[in-house]
Homo-oligomer: A and B are copies of this chain.
């Protein structure tokens, strides 16, 4: 079993996969932080200790919370497919330098995407970083299917 983790491509995949998943996981505490500082909760039990007249106001959406949630959702839509396809891609035994290129570009593009999203940077910064990540996923998918096709 330890053999998988002796393969350089698989080690590189593991490293970058955990990094991007960690980045995605951090969006959840960030949402909690925005919910508390902006006073925008989704559940009645979350505001049970507040005075009754404040509660209704605290259960409304806040643009900052919605923004970080959209960013989190975009991570789910892109980072999870990266890890799933990337795992299969790493198992097809690609050339190390090509694989590293895919992993590094993807990780970079998602970090840029998060910065562009959270700080509302002018377009096309966010759109471009999203497209680059998507192209990496398509490229790995194509590579896997052209190596292993068993319908």
Binding site for B on A (CB under 8 A): 1-5, 7-8, 10-12, 14-15, 17-19, 21-22, 24-25, 27-29, 42-46, 48, 67, 70, 72, 76-78, 80-81, 83-85, 87-88, 91-93, 117, 120-123, 126, 130, 134, 137-138, 141, 144-145, 147-151
20 A-B pairs whose Cβ atoms sit less than 8 Å apart in the complex: A4-B91, A12-B150, A14-B91, A14-B92, A14-B148, A15-B145, A17-B84, A17-B85, A18-B141, A18-B144, A22-B141, A25-B137, A25-B141, A43-B70, A43-B120, A44-B120, A48-B123, A80-B84, A83-B84, A87-B87
Complex Cα distance, B92 from A1, in Å, reads 8
How many copies of this chain does one complex carry? 3
